[in-house]
Every structure is written in C-alpha cells, then in structure tokens.
Amino acid sequence: MLTILIFVIILGFLVFVHELGHFLTAKKNGIKTDEFGFGFPPRIAGFVKDDATGKYKILWGGKEYESKNTIYSLNWIPLGGFVRIKGEDGAEAKDPGSFAGKSAWVRIKVLAAGVVMNFVVAWLLLSVVFTLGIAQPIQQSAGGKYKETKIQIVDVRANTPASEMGLQPGDAIVSLNGQAVEKTSQINEIISASKGEAVIFQIDRFGKPFELSGTPRMEYPKGEGAMGFAYSETAIVSYPWYESLYRGLIATYTITLAIFDALGKMIGGLFGGEKVGLDVTGPVGIVYLTKQMSDLGFVYLLQFAALLSINLGIINILPIPALDGGRILFILIEKLKGSPVSKRVEGMIHQVGFIILILLMLLVTARDFAHFDILGRIGSLF
C-alpha cells in the first residue's frame, strides 16, 4: 500500500508540473485559462477572483462557474493536475485571448512548455541527488566527498557461476572464504586460487547480509572471468550544490540521449525485422520498480523520479496524435500548407491516437502482470 502511495505521489507530481508548464506559458502569452486544477475532477473545492468585487471567493463542489478569471481547484482524483485553456479545441480563433487566436509560434510554446518543465524537474532532482550523494565507481567520480567506500558488483553475466549462485549488481562483497575483502585485487587473487573449488561469498545487499556459494570455472569465455561478474570500488560521493547543478544537467542530457537511442533501435528493429533486446514497462511495472527504489533509499527514489520525468517529457514530445507532440505536428502542417487542418479531421485523428495509446497501455499492463507474476503474488496473500 505504501508503494502505491509513493507511486501516486511521484506520478501526480510529474503530471502536475507538466500541466503547470502549459498554464504558466499560456498566462504569460495572454491566453485565458479557465481552470487550473490539482488532481482530476470531480472538484472538491476551488477559489476564484470575483469579477465584480475583485475579492477571492470559494467554490464548493463541481458546479459550473463562469468567470473572466482563472479557477484554481482541488479535485478528488490525486493524479497530477490539468489546465483548461480557452480555445484549445480550436474554437474562438478570432479572439486574441484564445489559444486558437494566437500565432503558431505561441501555440507551439504553450504545448512544448509541459515537456520543458519535465526536463527542468529532472535536472533539479538529479542535482539534489548529486548534492546528497549517490554510489559511484571511485575512479569515475572525479572529485567530491567520499563516504561508505565498498567493493560492489556492477555486472553479472548470464549463465555463469555468479548468476547461478544468485549474485546481483549492487551487492557489496564483504568477505571471501572468511577473508575480509578491502581491495579489488584480493578478489581476483582468491578466485584464481580457488578454481574448481567452492568459494563462500559474504555479501551485503543494501543493508541485508547474505552468504552465497559458487565455484570458479577452470575454462571460461574471454572477458567473463572465472565467475562471470564485474566489480568496482565504489563510494557514496556528494558534491557542492553549484557543482551538482552542472552534473545534474549533464546527467539529464546523457539519459535523454540514451532513451532516444533506445527508441531509435526499437523502431529500427520493428521495420528492419531484427529482434532488439529492449524492455517496455507499463504502470504495473513502474509500481514494482518504485518498490525496489524505495527499498534502496530516498536518493534512489529521487533518481528514479528524475528518470520517469525525462521519459514523460520524451513520450509527450513525440509526434503521436493525442499528445503534445502530435498537436505541434498539426500546427507545423498548418504553417506548411498555409491554412489550418480541418478541426473535424484533426479531432478524429487525435481520438484514434488516444484509443491506440489506451490499448497499448492495456497490452503492456497485461504483459507486466505476467512478467512480474502479479496474480501469483496476490494469490499468495490468501
């Protein structure tokens, strides 16, 4: 239950700041916003500046209220927020205070502002992560303050003694065969001297001690080693806030490029007929990952939220109907052809796109249920 609450808070926050970007940019460009809500309707309450008196008044419930000012509302479904912008459906194109009445550039700015906000939030979250400190390989940290130095497993190859014995990336090696491990060179020495014989690993898995046993191979593929895992000396490294801002910006840029690269490979694989080793996770999978991140600690949860924010921004800016990128695409088509696309045609395309997105989400969710054995986990509760 706590995991679901954390997931709702993270998702709600990311959706809220996305809509806040649309709202602030619309207001700045003279577009009337009818309502800006926290959560989704039905409405609990709201407040608005009275047209006649200029004083704020409280609105209870979901009754319709016409005003030239913005209604700020609190709603029952706590999943982010929304903004109702005048003329966003293409109506009132001759009204200068309407979205439809603004230039193409202004409309693109309003639509893209939500995506920009998601990237800004990711940058700030990652900056906080670098300020608080996160585990990094020491040779890659290049400065910063070190604490909690340890030797951690960074990669485990499939079908190797390491994978068969249950070692996982992130495990900290405490001792081998009862001998405390303080340097990376000790690991190679002990394993090399124990080929064909069982080695007892004492590990620390994020605060939980485990004892595992595995036998180093006499012969093995080049680059895998006798056990089939890679390790590195790591430490919790933190930086001053001003350096963290720079590192957070670089990390945001790097993650964004990696996601676009993965999307490109996935799309190329679909059209090229090649199988691409990429995984797609839906809401259920994200909840599962939220549980893992919350178990690791607050800093990892912030890092995970930043990654979700970047993903949300990228998905929204893609030229997919019903999303911000799809609406921007129609504005660009309008500029190229010299006249607006038929609102009826555009509306139908957005509706079809929305239905396809819902179906894809249901498909991925069903896959998540099977992948994470959700039904089996629920059954075990009874």
Name the average pLDDT for the chain: 85
Confidence of residue 20 (pLDDT cuts 50, 70, 90): very high
Q: Which residues pair with 235 in a beta bridge?
A: 136
With cut-offs at 50, 70 and 90, classify the pLDDT of residue 253. Answer: very high
Show the domains of the chain with their CATH numbers: 137-238 (2.30.42.10)
Token pair recorded at residue 245? 């801002």
- The span from the CA of 162 to the CA of 225, in Å, is 10
Predicted pLDDT at 359: 85
State which amino acid sits at residue 34.
Answer: D
What is the pTM for the complete model shown? 0.80
Please say whether the beta carbons of 89 and 107 come within 8 A: no
Q: What is the 3-state secondary structure (H, E, C) of the chain?
A: CHHHHHHHHHHHHHHHHHHHHHHHHHHHCCCCEEEEEEEEEEEEEEEEECCCCCCEEEEECCCCCCCCCCEEEEEEEEEEEEEEECCCCCCCCCCCCCHHHCCHHHHHHHHHHHHHHHHHHHHHHHHHHHHHCEEEEHHHHCCCEEEEEEEEEEEECCCCHHHHHCCCCCCEEEEECCEECCCHHHHHHHHHCCCCCCEEEEEEECCEEEEEEECCCCCCCCCCCCCCEEEEEEEEEECCHHHHHHHHHHHHHHHHHHHHHHHHHHHHHHHHCCCCCCCCCCHHHHHHHHHHHHHHCHHHHHHHHHHHHHHHHHHHHCCCCCCHHHHHHHHHHHHHHCCCCCHHHHHHHHHHHHHHHHHHHHHHHHHHHHHCCHHHHHHHHC
Check pLDDT > 90 for residue 129: yes
**Residue 381 banded pLDDT, cuts 50, 70, 90:** very low
pLDDT of residue 337: 86
Is it the case that residue 91 has pLDDT exceeding 80? no
- Average pLDDT on 322-341 reads 89
Which position has the higher pLDDT, 276 or 5?
5
Query: Across residues 187-202, what is the average pLDDT?
Result: 89
Is the separation of the CB atoms in 224 and 159 below 8 Å? no
pLDDT number for residue 375: 46
Q: Which of 164-168, 234-238, 374-378 has the lowest mean pLDDT?
A: 374-378
Q: What is the pLDDT of residue 279?
A: 59
Asked if pLDDT for residue 356 goes beyond 50, the answer is yes
Determine the pLDDT at residue 135. 78
Structure confidence at residue 275 (pLDDT): 53
Core vs surface per residue 317-331: b (16+ CB within 10 A) or e: beebbbbbbbbbbbb
CA distance 106 to 98: 11
Min mean pLDDT across 66-80, 110-124, 314-328 is at 66-80
Judge whether residue 341 has pLDDT over 50.
Answer: yes
pLDDT at 82 over 50: yes
Between CA 382 and CA 100 the distance in angstroms is: 55
Q: Interior CA angle at 219 toward 214 and 223, to 5°?
A: 90
Report the distance separating Cα 276 and Cα 318, nearest Å: 20
**Confidence band for 140, pLDDT divided at 50, 70 and 90:** low
Q: Is the pLDDT of residue 106 over 90?
A: yes
Least confident of 111-125, 162-176, 239-253, 274-288: 274-288
- Give residue 234's pLDDT: 85
For residue 380, what pLDDT is reported? 45
Q: Which residue has the tokens 């019903």?
A: 322
Residue 112 φ/ψ, nearest 5 degrees: -80, -15
Greatest mean pLDDT among 123-132, 159-168, 350-359 = 123-132
| For residue 282, pLDDT beyond 70 | no
- When comparing pLDDT for 42 and 127, which is higher? 127
Span of 74-83, 157-166, 169-178, 311-320 with lowest mean pLDDT: 74-83
* Cα–Cα distance list, 38 to 20, 65, 77, 82, 222 (Å): 10, 17, 9, 7, 56
Strand partners, 155: 230
pLDDT at residue 382 greater than cutoff 60: no
Query: What digits encode the pLDDT tens for the residues 203-231?
Result: 998 778 999 998 998 888 888 888 989 98
Residue range 336-358: mean pLDDT, rounded: 85
Q: Is the pLDDT of residue 72 over 60?
A: yes
